Amino acid sequence: MLLSDMYITPIMSLHYFVKYNISASNCDLRKMIKICESEMAWLDMCFNVNKSCLLRCGPRYKKPCVPILLNGNLLHEWSTVKYLGVIFESGLKLKVSLAAKRMKFFRAFNYIYACVGSTASPMLLCHLLHTYCLPILLYGFEAVTISNANRQTLYVTWKTALYKIFKLNDEVNLLYVQHCLGILPISYAFDLRRLCFLFKQSTHIISVYNIFYDVFGCFEFNELCSVYSVGKLSHGHFKACVWYFFKVCIT
């Protein structure tokens, strides 16, 4: 088994305690599962294999491998895993699936559009879109790193809804309309949520969160702060910094 392969195992106990085992090889994953099993045995608990699965990603994710056992039971291999509202897919790299999110977003938007009607004020429709539909589309994404393709998909999804309201397909006009209505474009809204999330992780009282931030989030946080000119004294004013950057871009 190549060391570049990755095995991600969400293990859920009967009390819905979720733990992720991330391993670079089949052998290492077995050792990690053994450690988790011994700890759970010491707590007089056991894992629920029916709520556990194996997700593979890497160059050999399609190749057959030796079965993985959890408490003596076979751990089934899945192609997709839903964790805290975010769907992950196996592949050469760990991918985030947006299909279900887009479906829920358009379902909510079309229901609002059908109830309010096309003759309603565009300001009302935009307010409802931003208040009820946008959180559905972006839920949980501030905690994961998404690709540029995912960002483009989010943008097209948001643009489609705005086009239905204003009958505009020009990007400059859509940006100006969002600015006049006090609504951030979805790329800025996503970066704002990401900034707030990473800042909370850096100042969390639990040291484990700080360690994960130092390893995975510190570089991205500093990069976003550099883009939006967020200084050390303005960490609590991310929204103002993002809005100022947006206003400068459209003027």
> Measured in Å, how far apart are the chain's first and last C-alpha atoms?
54
Instruction: Give mean pLDDT, residues 168-179.
Output: 87
26 versus 150: the higher-pLDDT residue is 150
Q: Residues 90-101: pLDDT tens digits?
A: 888 888 889 999
List the beta bridge partners of residue 77.
Answer: 54
Q: Which H or E element spans position 70?
A: strand 69-70
Separation CA 163–CA 177 (nearest Å): 11
Separation CA 100–CA 102 (nearest Å): 5
Separation CA 80–CA 78 (nearest Å): 6
Amino acid 18: pLDDT: 34
Collect all residues with Cβ–Cβ distance below 8 Å to 175 and sequence separation of at least 6: 185, 249, 250
Separation CA 141–CA 190 (nearest Å): 8
72 versus 17: the higher-pLDDT residue is 72
C-alpha angle with apex 28: 15 to 74, nearest 5 degrees?
A: 50
The answer to whether 104 and 97 have CB atoms below 8 angstroms apart is no
Q: What is the pTM of this model?
A: 0.79
Assign 226 to helix, strand or coil: helix
Q: Residues 59-74: pLDDT tens digits?
A: 887 888 888 888 888 8
Place of tokens 């969002």: 178
**What are the backbone angles phi and psi of residue 164, rounded to the nearest 5°?**
-65, -30
Q: Is the pLDDT of residue 143 over 90?
A: no
Instruction: Give mean pLDDT, residues 2-13.
Output: 36
Q: Tokens representing 173?
A: 């006009």
Amino acid 2: pLDDT: 27
Q: Tokens representing 83?
A: 């964790």
The answer to whether 126 and 183 have CB atoms below 8 angstroms apart is yes
Using N-to-C axis directions, what is the helix angle for 148-166 and 171-181, rounded to 10°?
A: 80
Q: Residues 221-238: pLDDT tens digits?
A: 889 999 998 876 666 689
Separation CA 243–CA 210 (nearest Å): 28
